[in-house]
Structure 1
Amino acid sequence: MTDLSIGQERAALAARAPSDLYRAVWRWHFYAGLFVLPFLISLAITGGLYLFRDPIDAFVHADLKQVAVKADAGHVPPSAMVAAALRFQPGTAVKFTDPATATSSAEVTIAVSGGEKRAVYVDPYDGRVLGALPDRGTIMWTIRTLHSLKYFGSFARALIEIAGGWAILLVATGIYLWWPRRQTGGVLTIRATPARRVFWRDLHAVTGLFVGGFIVFLAITGMPWSGVWGAKVNEWANGSNFGYPAGVRIAVPMSDEHLDHLAKTSWSLEQAQMPQSPSHGMAPISLDDAVATFDRLGLHRGYTVNIPTTAMGVYTGSVYPADLAQQRVVHLDQYSGKPLIDMSYGDYGPLGRALEWGINVHMGQQYGLADQLVLSAACLAIIVLCVSAAIMWWKRRPKGRLGIPPLPADPRVFRGLLALLAIGGVLFPLVGLSLLVMLALDRAVIGLRRPARR
């Protein structure tokens, strides 16, 4: 081979390398989109609705959750509200939720036969029962379980975890494909009209540029709720010291029951075990006394009180308002009424505070209406991103074929890309497993297409 031919071959390889890398990235971007887009649309719709859960619930369940303010009347005692609820729905009262606002009803959770729980709503001004729903039976709790796919069981929740990892891959590969390569349009502007494919390509690329950061943020901050990765990280981060940071737990007897099994709690306290009330040879304090203690300790309005049902149980007051600084869990000895554990956001470690902040922003709580509006705009943009991707693919695909982007001429270009995918797979095992499955399927597709070409 002459020096001239060697030089020409090297020049051809150098020119082909960027094209090969582009094809490899495009191919995996296509695979990521194929898997993630249905989940992204579902998450965007349900997540966008859940951002406004309080006003939506108040509107849909106005007959149960809203009451008229009676300025000349105070609230009846919590024990009277519980008694009214038990007359309406016999069973065992296990939880009392303080009215969050002057126009909010109180909520009494009652355990009935068969393990079912019912939420009974009571007017706090006159103790009148307004009605009942299954516990966590509001429209927004349904939306929440749909958002996490918890509605469909543990396997579906695992798919959400996988989708989160693939969404990050989708953004990373999308940024590479968007990166300007001498084109004058389609970077920050949209060319042509909806009749042409280039319009949908530009709409997809420009929208993805602006919403990509939100997708990564929402995917990462949603991971703590995942069934496998989130549960294992929570166990590793919070499973020692009974789930409480050093200095918070004092020398009190602890049970094997977890706080998360009894009451909705923050991510950082899911591993927290319940303290026990030592017997003092005295009668238990009343719910009214416990509520008065929580009021005196300054818990944010709308807190929930878990009522002890055993001789060793405790009164637990917990509240998770929009302001992270106001998050708090207090356990009271049911006999003396003294606080056994008083836990707030400031007691979390640096990792716990960072994760709780991310979760609070994810839920549209941390910065009030601004948080809700920004995230709802991001959810709308994600829907546009998914729809434009589907239309762009439909217009590009060959008739009767899936339209998988072509393989690079040099398959070695996949090595660097697969190394990056492997790193993500180590961090998120379910995602890594799904990457291996997709890689095997891709190899199978290549094997089937080669005989056809011959």
Structure 2
Amino acid sequence: MTETLLGAVPSRAAAISSLSVYRAVWRWHFYAGLLALPFLIILAVTGAAYLYKDEIDNFVYRDLKHVEVQLAERAAPSALIDAALAAYPGTAVKYLPPADPEASAEITVKTGRDKVSVFVDPYTGRVLGDIPDKGSVMWVVRQLHSLAWFGPVANGIIEIVGGWTILLVGTGIFLWWPRKREGGAEGGVVTVRGTRRQRVFWRDLHAVTGIFVGAFIVFLAVTGMPWSVFWGSYVNQWANSSNYGYPSGVRTDVPMSDEHLAHMSATSWSLEQARMPESIPVGGGSIGLDSAVAIFDRLGMAPGYAVSLPGGPTGVYSASAYPDELSLQRVVHLDQYTGKPLIDMSYADYGPFGKALEWGVNVHMGQEFGLANQILMLLVCMAIVLLSVSAGIMWWKRRPGRSLGVPPLPSDRSVLRGVLAILMIGGVLFPLVGVSLVVMAILDYLLVAGRQRLRTV
């Protein structure tokens, strides 16, 4: 009898310790959800739409982007620019050749302080219309997805949300992990119990959905981090290893300007810090856009590439192609006087880190594996919305009246601090996340202290 009682003491102590850890993790899981879920809904909805950016843009702007195929040869690029400038006086800064026989040409024209994208029929030279530069429907969706629409501070929130999302998945896996319930039953592992009126139904639906898509959610969070305002910029500089941004051995011995490729046109993350080369003025004039486009075509640039025009006497013709197939990513800079390629760089020239990251981004955007990639990412986005909704319903069914419904404190408070210490590992990797963790810990302490004072009174 005595041995039985002595054996029950450690067993009871272990159970109390296990419950304390569970409550501590649950508490931080709640805080992570409180902070991240509202933003995750926005990211999931806008991300799902952006997966089909080409299809949506081509439908919305079909009168501008599509033309009838004709037997006549296409007009010269310079003639198409002249037609655009006749309708929209200003300075042409970019030219996008038609990507296929049914596509129009697109010319970006700077008119005073603003820029406008002008679409021209490449067979007839007829101006089809315009949209504001970076003002298309999908560009707005992209800005909303990154929260850049609301300024740099809001863009920094993306970094915090990304870090908290990783913590949310990690703590969620711990809470999901199969363990004996009351009466020896196990639930919410791969099956959903109860009915929609019961909290257990939403708890199981939340847990089972999360365990199946958790790895994909972490993948999206990590691959979205490179464009964050703090972590992304520093990692970008570290990955490039120099101010030029080009991988070692790629930059040729040519004069470099202070202008960066990211300021000229849309580019890959790996090349945002890349500085532009300079043309060397010699006798004679520029080769002209027609010759530059002919050179780019002869070099085998992938269809759909864009050409940035020289911005002055030392400017260059720069062609950039970022198709769905990573191996076809390429940037070529031509001397505007000789037509000589100053820099010719493709995906194969990126370093190992750059290649891995660009691959991750391509999958993130649903491009790497075609339609299957789009469908998979769409399902993940739908699952994120479902997780957010089920979390809200669970909270609503559980919360006490007139209370935030924070999960109960563990009986051993040191466990709560221990869990926070583990979470701070993520805070070291992502500094803004670390700062937010400290702030949340202080608020949690003040919440607990406030309740204790009320009880004392």
TM-score, length basis structure 1: 0.97
Q: CA shift at 1:237, angstroms?
A: 1.5
2:127 is aligned to: 129
One-letter code aligned to 1:27: R
2:86 is aligned to: 87
Deviation >6 Å, runs of 4+? 2-8
1:347 is aligned to: 349
Q: CA shift at 1:4, angstroms?
A: 10
Residues 119-142 of structure 1: per-residue CA shift (max 9 Å, x gap): 101111211111111101110000
Q: CA shift at 1:112, angstroms?
A: 1.4
User: Which secondary structure does the structure 2 equivalent of 1:342 belong to?
Assistant: strand
RMSD value over aligned CA atoms? 1.5
User: Which secondary structure does the structure 2 equivalent of 1:205 belong to?
Assistant: helix
Distance in 2 separating the partners of 1:371 and 1:254: 39
Counterpart among 121, 138, 141 of residue 139 in structure 2 = 141
Structure 2 portions without partners, runs of 5+: none
8 A Cα contact 1:192 1:199, kept in partner: yes
Q: After the TM superposition, which of the residue ranges 241-250 and 328-337 deviates more from structure 2? A: 241-250
User: Which secondary structure does the structure 2 equivalent of 1:316 belong to?
Assistant: strand
Distance in 2 separating the partners of 1:300 and 1:167: 37
Residues 319-347 of structure 1: per-residue CA shift (max 9 Å, x gap): 10000000000000000001000010000
8 A Cα contact 2:243 2:273, kept in partner: no
Distance in 1 separating the partners of 2:249 and 2:453: 68
User: Which secondary structure does the structure 1 equivalent of 2:244 belong to?
Assistant: helix
8 A Cα contact 1:239 1:272, kept in partner: no
**What aligned pairs does 1:303-382 form with structure 2 within 5 A after superposition?**
303-382=305-384
Counterpart among 139, 148, 151 of residue 149 in structure 2 = 151
Distance in 1 separating the partners of 2:66 and 2:138: 16
**What aligned pairs does 1:435-454 form with structure 2 within 5 A after superposition?**
435-454=437-456
8 A Cα contact 1:51 1:363, kept in partner: yes
2:18 is aligned to: 18
2:102 is aligned to: 103
**What aligned pairs does 1:33-432 form with structure 2 within 5 A after superposition?**
33-70=33-70, 72-114=71-113, 116-182=114-180, 183-238=185-240, 240=242, 242-432=244-434
Distance in 2 separating the partners of 1:379 and 1:74: 44
8 A Cα contact 1:44 1:382, kept in partner: yes
Q: After the TM superposition, which of the residue ranges 12-21 and 349-358 deviates more from structure 2? A: 12-21
Distance in 2 separating the partners of 1:69 and 1:184: 64
User: Which secondary structure does the structure 2 equivalent of 1:48 belong to?
Assistant: helix
Q: After the TM superposition, which of the residue ranges 280-289 and 181-190 deviates more from structure 2? A: 181-190
Number of corresponding residues: 451
Distance in 1 separating the partners of 2:160 and 2:61: 35
Distance in 2 separating the partners of 1:422 and 1:49: 34
Distance in 1 separating the partners of 2:102 and 2:24: 58
Q: After the TM superposition, which of the residue ranges 331-340 and 176-185 deviates more from structure 2? A: 176-185
Residues 393-423 of structure 1: per-residue CA shift (max 9 Å, x gap): 1011111111100000001112331222221
8 A Cα contact 2:108 2:116, kept in partner: yes
One-letter code aligned to 2:172: G
8 A Cα contact 1:57 1:140, kept in partner: yes
TM-score, length basis structure 2: 0.96
One-letter code aligned to 2:348: G
Distance in 1 separating the partners of 2:311 and 2:424: 49
Q: CA shift at 1:15, angstroms?
A: 1.9
Distance in 1 separating the partners of 2:189 and 2:208: 6
Distance in 1 separating the partners of 2:230 and 2:6: 53
One-letter code aligned to 2:49: L
One-letter code aligned to 2:121: D
One-letter code aligned to 2:153: F
Distance in 2 separating the partners of 1:127 and 1:190: 61
Q: After the TM superposition, which of the residue ranges 410-419 and 162-171 deviates more from structure 2? A: 410-419
Q: CA shift at 1:247, angstroms?
A: 2.2
Distance in 2 separating the partners of 1:150 and 1:98: 29
Residues 293-337 of structure 1: per-residue CA shift (max 9 Å, x gap): 000000000100000020000000001000000000000000000
Distance in 1 separating the partners of 2:190 and 2:447: 35
Q: CA shift at 1:8, angstroms?
A: 6.4
8 A Cα contact 2:237 2:243, kept in partner: no
Residues 261-319 of structure 1: per-residue CA shift (max 9 Å, x gap): 11110000001000000112121101000000000000000100000020000000001
Residues 227-280 of structure 1: per-residue CA shift (max 9 Å, x gap): 111011111222516111222111110001100011110000001000000112
1:32 is aligned to: 32
8 A Cα contact 1:37 1:386, kept in partner: yes
Distance in 1 separating the partners of 2:308 and 2:272: 16
